Structure 1
């Protein structure tokens, strides 16, 4: 879907907030607390960094600046090798419940979500996706016996690979009774890509004051914030079948497949544009715009309109803008930091790939912070601790 930009909060037509459940529903209350998760990530990064010397045994070296970024980069001589592994999360639970309610499998869309989680991270460093591997771990062998669901998963996986012009190398399909719940599946994808030529590397070494921030539209919730979205069902009169817009149920809206952004980044390269930095807007919401460690200020002056399902979630969960934008993508799934003179061309190239885009802000000299001016929201560097 394409959404028009706005200089204020989107005014989507949605059901009024519930009058019977006045309390705010936060991501923490839904079972996801980044204050507990992020310290482990940081500890793992520090331990992992100590292993980089092992590459020297093979004649290679790591690109140190990729530590803490969305993909890891190794210098193998004539080009850089980038890699990533990502888990889908709990979106399969929504697909399972909607299949029960409607009799239709949405696992083709779920497959795209899983691949997007890996590929949209990989391309942030300037890599061209090359090979995807699948990890489909079920709670028992019976899960694979549902032909409609299995065929939808395979077809969707293949289709997403074709969209991204990436080879599906293989995968693993374990039956993990006792670890994965019976009737459920845990989906993940790994992806390997090339930064070739090396000048395509975009780890922020050229990021600086005067750069423009171009935001690419999301298709909906993507695959982050689903724990909150599922918890919210308890408040809805018709559960997943509650309408968020005329003819569009909450469940169907949640299952809109995650946008694949690699066609845009590949088109940018062909047009001679190399982003100075990129951010995949996933967990932590818009705080991800603060991902680069540099002491720079980011000022947002134009907001994309919010997809109806995200406006609905914010209203029904009774979240203020700060909470919503710190959790959900709120209409922006990917950010490009580019030279100001390239910003409008980036918008045009993205639109030519079928993805709406906007010149949304600027990078400025100053303390590390993100100002979303139309909403009066500010986050500092302490609000995103990923290293």
Structure 2
């Protein structure tokens, strides 16, 4: 199947749903660890079309949402400085910090610019040699290679006024943290296909074996999701726990060797805080020592900022799959896309934003009449 419409075909979706219904004999809880997959699930009502025995739990798969509050505050501190041009992807500008966001910083006179690539920020640095240009480098393994390339190119081209505020996170340690939680209900994972297209699949078999959970690499269209669910349920019903690639059109077992080589050169693995979750060991990247002079956190000496999450925001529970967005007391009332308490409501990949956008405002029982796939 070569064309996008074929991955949204309702007749093919019905066949997959029928197969899932014929296979499942008991309740199973599956987690997707990708904000893009979450939005596909909610937009097309896939969770409501599945048999009652199959529950989809939304995991910490939104890169904007898991960027810790202290890093947002560091970004605003740097962006407020008159010598700085602060560059970021657009979805970071409305993420709330302790008392403001990057849009507010821009309104107060900060030179905050939206770019579409870290290489755009590098061009701005080249064009403004007397200003400090900082790129906000966040995300999972998918956005890390181009960010690494920008740092590498800045060093290679001797562009000394370019630096990066880094908050990159890695999926496999997050899966381990979820599975070791005392409150964990997850019995199988839909792994993010774009992450595996970069990193490959070698980190997942150990997790599948250790926690005895199937992990199915899954794409992002409705039929991709349903096929991932079908394969996961089949494994669970058979008592199996292996890694399965249901996204072979984009994912090879070894991933992208060139991208991985760039990551190994520019970054090193480190402990990383996840917003609403806490520190997960070895779950992130920071710039390697040889690139330390391009680390904005050290260049602008903002390492000492500490923060406290607002008590009314329960996005941490949403990110851990312990709470569905509409089960939060603030959802849709004091917390909306215009007045977000947390990043899960404002990010284009956030679970709360998906529930609000697609009007998933009531209880699960009230939402059983699903939107059709396609």
TM-score by length of 2: 0.27
Structure (1 or 2) with the greater strand fraction: 1
TM-score by length of 1: 0.26
